[in-house]
Structure formats: C-alpha cells, structure tokens
C-alpha cells in the first residue's frame, strides 16, 4: 500500500505491549485505525471539518496516546495555525499517523515541544475520546 502519512517509510516499530501483539507495525496500525477513526475521535472544535475523506482531522492527540500504549515512545507537538498538533517518536523513528489532515502542508517535525501524557489525559474530553479509540481498536482486534 502507498501510505501518505508523515514517516510512513520509516523503519518498522513493533508493539511492546503484549495486549497489542496482533499489530505488526505503525503501518498496520494505520490500516486498522483507518477503519475506526470517526467523528467521535475528532476534537469537538474541528468536528465541522471532519469527514470520511478527512478521517484523521482532529484525531492527533488521542492517536498518539494510543501509539504510545502500543509501541512506547514519546509524544511531541508542532505548532500549526496557533494550535499544537501531536506526533509520535518511537526510538529513532518519527511518524505522524494523522498528518494527512494537513494535505500538502509540510510540518516542521523538530522535537521542540514534548507533550505530557498525563496532562492530555487530565482533559475529560480527550480522555473520553482516547478511551473510545482504545475500545474501538480492541473490538476490531478481537473480531
């Protein structure tokens, strides 16, 4: 498959969490998430921009939290139009499963803005959307 997300051609990273052992690598996770990203994963402020054609819109933080659950690593942010957009770093590999929402816009993936997992999960809306995404993925993996 020809992936369009940033870092899709990086070296494969593999799950460190036994619960997700069925997931081969970040590209396989992208395939799975493509089936389950929906408007309920999108941040409320961007829901009017979310569509099946733009399924990664507003899903960055909760997706990165899930990536961290599965592969470990860290979450970083880059500023886009005054807002923080999150992406993942696992080992030496940087990838952004939700970068397609920006079209041809090139983001600066320097590692200047580390993101704190607990800070993001302290936001009730983000936590609810994250738990929803986790449950949808587990449901898909258990089919």
pLDDT tens digit sequence for 74-98: 999 999 988 899 999 999 999 999 9
**120 confidence band (pLDDT: 50, 70, 90):** very high
pLDDT at 81: 86
Q: Mean of the pLDDT values across residues 23-34?
A: 98
Q: Which residues contact 72 (CB under 8 A, 6 or more apart)?
A: 16, 17, 90
Residue 111 has pLDDT above 80, yes or no: no
Give this prediction's pTM. 0.96
Q: How many residues does the chain have?
A: 143
């Amino acid at each position: 498959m020809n992936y369009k997300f940033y870092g899709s051609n990086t070296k494969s990273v593999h799950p460190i969490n036994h619960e997700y052992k069925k997931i081969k690598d970040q590209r396989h996770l992208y395939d799975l998430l493509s089936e389950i990203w929906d408007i309920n994963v999108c941040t409320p402020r961007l829901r009017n921009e979310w569509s099946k054609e733009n399924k990664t819109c507003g899903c960055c933080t909760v997706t990165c939290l899930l990536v961290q659950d599965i592969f470990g690593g860290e979450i970083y942010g880059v500023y886009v139009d005054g807002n923080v957009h999150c992406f993942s770093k696992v080992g030496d590999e940087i990838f952004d499963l939700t970068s397609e929402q920006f079209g041809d816009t090139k983001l600066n993936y320097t590692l200047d803005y580390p993101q704190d997992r607990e800070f993001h999960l302290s936001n009730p809306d983000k936590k609810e959307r994250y738990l929803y995404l986790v449950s949808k993925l587990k449901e898909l993996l258990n089919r």
